[in-house]
A and B are shown apart, each in its own frame.
Chain A
Amino acid sequence: MFLKEYFGSIFSSIKSLLTGMKLTGYYFTHHNKIITEEYPDNRAALKMPERFRGEVIMPHDEKNEHQCTGCQSCELSCPNGSIKIITKQEIQPDGKKKKRIDTWVYHLDMCTMCGMCVEACPTTAILMGNEFEHSQYEKKYLKKVLNKPGSRLKDGVE
């Protein structure tokens, strides 16, 4: 009885070990199953999903116009204080003074890509971009101004 158990355990263990080796042996000979992606080489073919949150961007149209009214909802909704909006008073053609953005400061180094600022923006002036290669040698390069120089608010956006 003891011997039967003893040898039974030996055989069952050898069998389980061989099943494992069969599997690794199978993958050793089937190179088409390899899942590695060679990242910097496949840059051209690499397509991030549309919704991927990589950074906050502010799209400008061909007339260098954006849609940010400077309402600061995004600044309020950001949990980390990564957004700082500096506004100025601009004199409109009709003579009235209006609040416009001066600089839209974005601290990429503090951003956690939560996307809450985009949710909060009433005019969809900002979006989440797909860029993810953000590494820099110094922290100061991560502080960005999102509104382009000379840009202005698109007409009709309030």
Chain B
Amino acid sequence: MKTLLSYSFSSLATHMHNWLKNVITNDLLLTVTELVIIGVCLLVFLILLAFFLGYMERKVAAFMELRLGPNRVGPKGTLQIVADTVKLLFKEGFTPDAADKFLFNLAPGIIITTALLAVAPIAYAKGFQLWDINIGVLYISSVSSMAVIGILMAGWSSSNKYSLIGAMRCGAQIVSYELSIGLSLISIVVLTGSLSLNDIVESQANGWWIFKGHIPVLISFVIFVVASTAEINRAPFDLVEADQELTGGFNTEYAGMKFAMFLMAEYINLFVVSAVAATIFLGGWMPFHIGGLTGFNHIMDYIPSSIWFFSKTLFIIFIIMQFRWTFPRLRIDQLLNLEWKYLLPISMVNVLLVTLMAIMGWHF
């Protein structure tokens, strides 16, 4: 059992580092090599993740809709997404005549870059983190709000009226929902006293915030999930795309690989917000502990931390997917009403409550 425990990502990384240190003596070269390895690993991981999420979404949708979902390519249809990607690769990367070519082709790159940037500070397992930045929460919320630039760029440069309307909706939507996301994150920052994701996870060793923080944290959690669904433009808040109204919104004119990049960015964003929710509210890689029950806690410790992290993330992803396949879409003014009349005031009052809790020490 001891070996299983020690076989974690962190020890793997340390082994790797030591081995490379023996092979490469130059310090700079060593750093560069390591960075490249990490970058490649991360990209491969994210592409696989996007494949998996694409498959998962289609299966979830299918089962909720009394269908079978993909079941032809590969065992149980698992390779369907690969087949689709190949199809998209071979499609013409069409640029409309009237489009601003430079911006039109740049936009997918920007969207995917912002999506990738936000992945950096996430802690995947115990002691396994790409970048242990001490302002992780701030970093994530600021980077993810940059996605609006890419969408605006795509919508404007397409020279399509539908795209333009979609992009303008996006501006209003992301800017407003950014506020509630920030406020709901602040409530945990207040309780922990740190902006570092690692510290936040460590602070949940004796219980996840969602249990420790009582109702105010539960409210923050719900607000965070709702607002981040809007932030990543997923149904019921997918007004930016709004197939039935805007025939695809900002990505109406995109095809082939450029469209695939939008799709991939959507899934990476989905992963990021779920991972952040899991880290901040559900204890990240922290196993489930109940204070006092040492035996139970020990059993929980045997489950590797990465499994804890990914199962929590998948749970949140599932919930966000279920939103999409259950609810109809909001209208643009209702969307803004929801934010400015409901989520924002509630989360403001909530932050006050949480602060009070933190000062009085009403949590455990």
| B60 contact from A10, A17, A21, A28, Cβ within 8 A | A28
Residues of A contacting B68 in the complex (Cβ-Cβ under 8 angstroms): 34, 36, 38
The reply on A47 being an interface residue by CB < 8 A is no
With an 8 A cutoff between CB atoms, is B311 at the interface? no
Decide if B64 touches A24 in the complex (CB within 8 Å). yes
Query: Within the assembled complex, what's the spacing in Å between the Cα atoms of A92 and B71?
Result: 62
* A24 partner, pick from B67, B71, B325, B342, beta carbons under 8 A: B325
Per DSSP, are chain A's interface residues mostly helix, strand or loop, or mixed?
A: helix
B342 near A21 with CB under 8 A, answer no
CA distance in complex: A17, B326 (Å):
8
Judge if A134 is at the interface, Cβ distance under 8 Å: no
Q: Which residues of A contact B67 (CB under 8 A)?
A: 34-36
Residue B90 at the A interface, CB < 8 A?
no
Complex Cα distance, B326 from A34, in Å, reads 17
| Residue A31 is within 8 A (CB to CB) of chain B in the complex | yes
Of the four ranges (under 10, 10 to 19, 20 to 34, 35 or more), the interface on chain B belongs to 10 to 19
Please determine whether A24 and B322 come into contact, CB atoms closer than 8 angstroms. yes
Q: Which of B280-326 contact A (CB under 8 A)?
A: 322-323, 325-326
CA separation between A24 and B326, bound complex, in Å? 7
A13 to chain B: closest CB distance in Å? 9
Residue B63 at the A interface, CB < 8 A? yes
For the complex with contacts A27-B63, A28-B322, A33-B66, 7 further pairs of A-B residues with Cβ separation under 8 Å are A10-B342, A24-B64, A24-B322, A27-B66, A34-B63, A34-B68, A35-B66
Cβ–Cβ < 8 Å partners of A21 in chain B? 322-323, 326
Chain A 10-32 interface mask (CB, 8 Å, partner B; 1/0): 10000001001101110110010
| Cβ of B327 under 8 Å from chain A | yes
Roughly how many angstroms separate A71 CA and B71 CA in the complex, as a whole number? 52
